[in-house]
Amino acid sequence: MMRTKAPSSFSQRVDQLRRSPAFFFKSRPIGLEVSHLANLKGVTTPDHDHHLGRIRSVFNARRGVTRRVLVLPLLVLTAFALGGCQLPTFGGFRGATTQAKTESTLWSQMVILGVGVSAIVFVLIVWAVFRYRRRDENHIPRQFSENTLLEIVYTLIPCVLVGVIFYATVIAENQIDAVVGKPAEIINVTAYRWGWSFSYASSTGVSQNVLVQTAAEPKALAQSALSSEYPQLVLPAHQTVRIVLQSTDVIHGFYIPAFNFSRYAQPGVVNTFDFTTLGTGIYRGQCAQYCGLYHAEMLFSVQVVPQGTFADWLKSHQA
Ligand SMILES: [Cu+2]
């Protein structure tokens, strides 16, 4: 809290009162204090009129404060409206795979729940502040320190909310981590310093002799992930493809923002997961774990193409 200097004169005291946070909620006692100060000073009539003018300005200022208090919720609502252009995604990705959509839905539900809880808490705080404020100098609001029923209720409600969040998260995670018996394609993704290799195999795991990988020599290109300088993971649309993720050296992160998906590529660990693609599109991907000097160059793109185009692409890329 800001420390204020003790006032050295009546005028300074009035100014200090006008600026004080208590002025927002305590205009009457402050007004009285101003009159009281004026009386104590034994000010002469012109002076007194002058000070009365100042007191009036204090009350006028309070009207301004009321206006400001009303403007505040309006500003908050405007911020929500302007920042909410991405409703109901709340800044997240809608998701370019079935799994990503599940993630997106969970995210939206959590934010809506969070906003609801915040709104209720905010209203309760404001209500308590105004309802139980000190209304005048001679009156102290009723003092109480405990309420067993209230305490049980406000402990149980968060526990129930956490339970709901936990349940919804487990359900969503199980859907995201579920793998099908027979994927349309299996792609072995290997992360290494400083790049990626995508090796295509059929649904039975037989190599299709298609290998896409980062250029051998690391360079500080600082290009967009969609640049042709980086490798591209090509996927067929409306199919479930399996990714078998590994690392040959250190921990990397296989991250595709539009898929709402990131997973460690760890040496000695094989991470297997499925993507069920939706429509066609091109998306950026990157390493999401700081892995060393050329970490920022560990970029790639993902292109989802129609199934016929994918088959042609596979044929044309066979070694
Ligand atoms: Cu990396």
Instruction: Please name the amino acid found at residue 22.
Output: A
Q: How many CB atoms sit inside 10 A of residue 248's CB?
A: 12
Strands of 232-236's sheet in order across: 232-236, 299-305, 281-287, 252-256, 261-265
How far, in Å, CA of 177 to CA of 172, rounded?
9
pLDDT digits (tens, 9 = 90+) for 75-127: 877 776 666 556 778 888 889 999 999 999 999 999 999 999 999 999 999 99
217 pLDDT band, cuts 50/70/90, is confident
Tell me the residue ranges of DSSP E strands in the chain. 185-192, 195-201, 207-213, 232-236, 240-247, 252-256, 261-265, 271-276, 281-287, 299-305
pLDDT digits (tens, 9 = 90+) for 174-215: 999 999 999 999 999 999 999 999 999 999 889 999 999 988
Element (H, E) at 40: helix 27-41
Query: How many angstroms is it from 249 CA to the middle of ligand 1?
Result: 10
Query: How many angstroms is it from 270 CA to the middle of ligand 1?
Result: 16
How is residue 219 written in tokens? Answer: 């360079």
Pair 210, 316: CB distance under 8 Å: no
Query: How many angstroms is it from 265 CA to the middle of ligand 1?
Result: 9
Query: How many angstroms is it from 191 CA to the middle of ligand 1?
Result: 7
> According to the model, what pLDDT value does residue 27 have?
44
Strands 185-192 and 240-247, sheet pairing:
parallel
Report helix, strand or coil for 219.
coil
Query: How many angstroms is it from 254 CA to the middle of ligand 1?
Result: 8
Using a CB cutoff of 5 Å, list residues around ligand 1, an ion.
252, 287, 291, 295, 298
Q: Which is higher by pLDDT, 219 or 171? A: 171
Query: 87-137+145-178 adopts what CATH topology?
Result: Helix Hairpins (1.10.287)
The CATH number assigned to the domain with range 185-316 reads: 2.60.40.420
Query: How many angstroms is it from 120 CA to the middle of ligand 1?
Result: 43
Strands 261-265 and 232-236, sheet pairing:
unpaired
Bridge partners of 97, per DSSP, are: 277
Longest dimension (CA), the chain: 103
Query: How many angstroms is it from 199 CA to the middle of ligand 1?
Result: 18
Query: How many angstroms is it from 32 CA to the middle of ligand 1?
Result: 68
> According to the model, what pLDDT value does residue 224 have?
84
